[in-house]
Each structure stands twice: as structure tokens, then as C-alpha cells.
Structure 1
């Protein structure tokens, strides 16, 4: 596959169709995630009330479930939205923020994965390692250690859950247990901003709304997201100016930039 050309094609599909991405996400990143959704070409909605879950999810192209700021009522909404998405064939993207940091988070993730059919899990290495049963350590929402390298961990959880797993880091790893893809795009300044991992999840969701092969959607989304960061970095003097430049780069990203700058390789 020509990943760069396909990534440009999917981005164009997102911009033309403007799918609605329904987020049940955390309070810390809500505004930034909504902006990234818009800048990549999709439409965001942040709806958390149990009373509107079925109706809102039914009109979405994809559903993001992000456990960053959990509460009893939000968990109820997650299950209701997730079951509606499964009934309607709408892809679910799970972001297990801080899984492993507390038993409440870990148990909630396991319940979600047991009761819902998830298309893509997007997390850091520690979170994914813990969900795969390989051990690891997460401090707050940051990965400290894991029970294997990213390729091993992604394959393990993908095989266990029968879904696609994306581990983002210096090199992004995407695997469905059979196919494994590496994305080398990105920039270290992404780590200076809160919520850039969560925002990459919404990019995966937007691409998943129009590309129904999860490995392809996730890899192409993370390529475009990382490439925008690379384009933005030379224009920035620090985290604040980087954030503005990154948003502009996402909004203006075009096929020529993707075809020249994307770095994706399939390893199995």
C-alpha cells in the first residue's frame, strides 16, 4: 500500500464528508480535542448526558470514549453510547487514560472491553501493557514502565481483544495482531502540551468514520497528526506558539505535504 497517498485520500474524505465525532471525553482536553476535530475536517460534539446518548450516538460517524475524568454518571453514558454504536455499526475508539494508575480506571476499561466491541484502542505503552495483562506502571496518566516493547504489547492486546491497538510515543505502533504498522512522524514538542495524546485519538476517530479498516484508519491518522507537528515545530518558539502553529498545520495539511513527508512502514 502507498500509505502516503492513501492517507491524503482519507483526509480528503474526512474534509468532504465532515463526519460527526461524538466524544465522551475528559474535562482537561475537551476544548483542545474539539478544535483538533474541526481542524482535521470533522465535526465534534461533546455530549455526556445519559438521557441523550442513544440519540446523539446514532447520528455520529464515530464514538470516542476517553476515561480521563471518570465519574459514575459518565461511565453509565459510556456504556449506553457504546451499545448504541455497536448496534448501529459505528466505530468506537477507546482512550484508556491512566489505566493502571487506579483500580477504578483499570476495572472500568476492562468492563468496557468486555461489554463493547471496540474498533481501536489508542493509548500509551504503560496503559496498553496493563490492559494486555503484561504489567507495567502508570503514574497519573503518564507511562512509567511496561511489560514489553511496543510491538509486543500492541500485538498482545490486539489478539486478546480482537481489535486494533495504537500505541503512541516516539514511534507509533499500530497492530491488529496480524498486521503491524509503524509511524515515524511526530515531534517532541507534542509532549509539552497537555492532551496531545487524547487529541490524536480524535484524529483516529475522524479517519475511522470514513475508512472502515481500523489499522489503515489509525496509521494514516497518526501519520497526518505527527506530520502536522513536524511542519509546525520550525515556526514555534515554545509550547504556546507550537500549539497555534500545530493547529494551523493540521488545518492546512495537504496531499503534497503528506506524500512527501509521511513515514509509515508495515513490518508484519
Structure 2
């Protein structure tokens, strides 16, 4: 895999507007800074149109929804679409409550996403596939994960990223699977939320016709960085892993990622 957008992020420092949750905001902001992007965490519905004009990407995270936050997401999404700013949706625990299900439905009806990033349980719900999930956990099921990603991409006309032990990136016509990462990722709160924001950073510097490639590169960079950060750590050192992940995101090179990424092509 040729990694062409990592250095562009570091050169251009794109502003990534995140409407995210209280658990992930700090970690996400620090992760974007480490990567080379510029984070903004703004939630007032009244400033969304102005911020869209400044942003390279918009990341909508459903982790802690509220009426004001949903209103901000709707305003921000509409403004981003008008400004041709890519939107990444992270449908956190979408199946857990009627509020979350209705919010995602409303967002999908009122804006066009460039990408959706979630775990198996979240994307299975969006695909209409039977799956056993609890809250933010990925849960379990017997459906084909690559097909789940393809179905979400086809239904919502975007790139779908299903992250887990193996990561699947699909655009409805093609998919790839990436086999990097570490078992420490699920032990760090907001590691998935940060990945969604990293996807936003890569989309911010890529041509709009290259969303699939940019999303794949984002996942590759993130999971390889996690793999490198986890070297020599025990399964109980999740706290150490969290700060080492930030350090590695700042230091990892495109050449390292290209050398270490394990990719399989699908169709």
C-alpha cells in the first residue's frame, strides 16, 4: 500500500471539527495533534455554518447524545455538505436505544456521509443484520463482516469502515481487509473514536474521489502505529499503551506503514 496522505496531513495541518462525546474529546484532540492535524471540539448549533467554512473535515460521534448536540450535528452536516467538506459518522452504540437509532436515521436523511466508522455491532445494525451487542461493545454474530461493511456502504452511499481484530474498508463495490493492530486497542477508552477522527484527517487532505484510498490509509497508519506502540508491553499495560500510541502517531512514517501493513484485497 502506498501511503500518500500522512505527510500531507503533517504539512497542511487540516482543521478537523469534532462533535464528539465527553469520554473521548481529550484523547481525540491529542491524537489529532500528534498525527499533525488541528482539532476543534465545538458543539453550539449557532456556529456550525461558520466552522464548516474553516474545516477540512467534520466528525460526528454519537457517544453522548443530547438535544443540543443533535441539533449541532444537523446544522454542521448541512453546512459541511454545502461546503463540500467530508463527513465521518461514528454511530456509537447505535442499537442501544431509540434515541440513538432515531438520531442516526435523522442524520442519514439530512446529510451525505463520506465515511462511516464503527465496530461490528454498530455496522451490523446499520446493515440490518442480526447481531448480539451490548452498549458500545462489538458483540458477536455469525454474519460475514466484509459483507456487513459492503451493505452499509451500499445503503448509505459512502465508505464503510468496520474496525475490530481485522479491519474492513468497503465502498459497495470493493473492499480490503487490514490485519494489523493490537489487543490493547479495546482496553483504551476512545481508541475507536480517535480512529474515526483520524479518518477525518485523511479525508481532509485527499481528493473527494479518493475517499476509499484515504480511509484505507487512515486505518493502516492507525493500526500500524498501535502495533508499534504495543511492542514490549504486557496485556495489562493499557495506560502505557495509550500515551505510547500518541507518541507513535507523531513519529510513524509513511515508509514504516507501507512496510508493515498487512492488506488483503477483496471484491
Aligned to 1:15: 10
Runs of 4+ that moved beyond 4 A: none
Aligned to 1:156: 151
Match 2:58 to one of 51, 63, 66: 63
Match 2:116 to one of 115, 121, 126: 121
Moved more, 227-236 or 199-208: 227-236
- Written as runs of structure 1 = structure 2, the 5 A alignment for 1:34-49 is 34-49=29-44
Structure 1 spans left out of the alignment, 5+ residues? none
Distance 2:185 2:152 in 1: 25
Tell me, yes or no, if the aligned pair for 1:101 and 1:137 is still in contact at 8 Å.
no
Is 1:221 matched up with 2:236?
no
Distance 2:13 2:174 in 1: 28
Moved more, 25-34 or 130-139: 130-139
Helix, strand or coil at the partner of 2:30:
helix
Q: Pick closer, same or farther for the CA change 1:51–1:157 going to 2, 3 Å.
A: same
Aligned to 1:202: 197
Helix, strand or coil at the partner of 1:209:
helix
Q: 1:7-35 CA distances to partner (integer Å, 9 max, x unpaired)? A: 2x210011101100000000100000001
Helix, strand or coil at the partner of 2:27:
helix
Distance 1:28 1:215 in 2: 28
Aligned to 1:234: 231
The number of aligned residues is: 263
Aligned to 1:262: 261
Q: 1:37-82 CA distances to partner (integer Å, 9 max, x unpaired)? A: 1111110000001111111122100000001000001000000000
Helix, strand or coil at the partner of 1:70:
coil
Is 1:108 matched up with 2:122?
no
Aligned to 2:175: 180
Q: Pick closer, same or farther for the CA change 1:106–1:147 going to 2, 3 Å.
A: farther
Q: Pick closer, same or farther for the CA change 1:14–1:260 going to 2, 3 Å.
A: same
Cα RMSD of the aligned pairs, angstroms, is 1.2
- Written as runs of structure 1 = structure 2, the 5 A alignment for 1:163-174 is 163-174=158-169
Tell me, yes or no, if the aligned pair for 1:24 and 1:78 is still in contact at 8 Å.
yes
Helix, strand or coil at the partner of 1:234:
coil
Q: 1:137-177 CA distances to partner (integer Å, 9 max, x unpaired)? A: 33111122347221111111111111110000001001011
